[in-house]
Amino acid sequence: MPDSSGHARLSPPAPASGPVSRAAAVAASAPAPAPAFRPATVAAPGSAPAATGAPVSSSAPARPVVSPEVPVHPSGRRLGVILGAVLAILAAVNVADKYGPRHTGLVAGPLVALTLVLIARRAGLSWHDLGLSRRTLVPGLRYALGAVGIVAAIYTLGAAIPATRVAFHDVRYHLHPGAALLTAFVVVPLGTVLLEEVAFRGVLLGLVHRHRGATWASITSSVLFGLWHILPSLRLAQVNKAVGGALGIGATGQILAILGAVAFTALAGLLLCELRRRSGSLLAAAALHWATNGLGLLVATVLATTRLT
């Protein structure tokens, strides 16, 4: 049909009538259906990825399959190796001190003590674990002075009572006063106390405490400390009048004397461990150890000199 300007106007075609045309119109006006969604399949560890239609990168490495195994405890294995090395060193020193040249311990003691400290530090122990921290020096000094005073009072009382005076009659301590002073203040501290305290209340106590706790540390250290005194007590029944008189000097008496020395020193080790724990310092245990040995030697020397004169 022409419009007002005279040009022909195109009119849209009239929709077809009928049921088929209406269905086609509805289908044309409906939105296109969304593509079907298929969930991705998660592959088990170690298996090949499932094909999902997307390209798989060949550069990504596959994760290795880990088989279940018994867990390994390297700290426990390392503890065993370190303890074995420390015990081997101590056994060698013990034998050398017993059967080697005189005063072997005076030379070997400080060197072995330093070696054990280096081993412990390499194993991860701190100065506090070894009882050598500067923070616990003052408390350790207080405990040390108290321990020396208590031992001195007990020894003075024991020497004054005739019934207990016989315990100081030991032929090993029949020394000249000058030799007794040298032994008490040089040989005992450097050749005995230094090594034993560093080894048993420092390194061994610290190692076992780090891995097994305080109770196991005290027990282990004290039992080993008792066994350490087997060799030094082989002739105890013969050189100590009180021990020989109570147990005899025969084979049975010697065995009983050794067992008694091991038990006594193990109990003493527990006391030293507790003193070390309470003070936090190796100085306290070392002072009590020195007072027990050094002051005992001096008292025995004084009694022997007085009796001889």
| Tens digit of each residue's pLDDT, the chain (309 residues) | 445 444 444 455 454 444 444 544 444 555 555 454 454 444 444 444 444 444 544 455 555 444 444 433 346 788 889 999 999 999 999 999 999 998 898 999 999 999 999 999 999 999 999 999 999 999 999 999 999 999 999 999 999 998 888 888 877 777 888 999 999 999 999 999 999 999 999 999 999 998 889 999 999 999 999 999 999 999 888 888 778 888 888 889 899 999 999 999 999 999 999 999 999 999 999 999 999 999 999 999 988 887 654
How far is the C-alpha of 196 from the C-alpha of 227, rounded, in Å?
12
How far is the C-alpha of 126 from the C-alpha of 302, rounded, in Å?
42
Burial-class residue 32 by CB neighbours within 10 Å (0-12, 13-18, 19+): exposed
8 A C-beta contact, residue 272 and residue 291: no
Q: Where are the domains of the chain?
A: 77-308
Count of residues making up the chain: 309
How far is the C-alpha of 302 from the C-alpha of 309, rounded, in Å?
11
8 A C-beta contact, residue 109 and residue 192: yes
How far is the C-alpha of 297 from the C-alpha of 193, rounded, in Å?
14
Residue 82 one-letter amino acid = I
Q: What is the pTM of this model?
A: 0.72
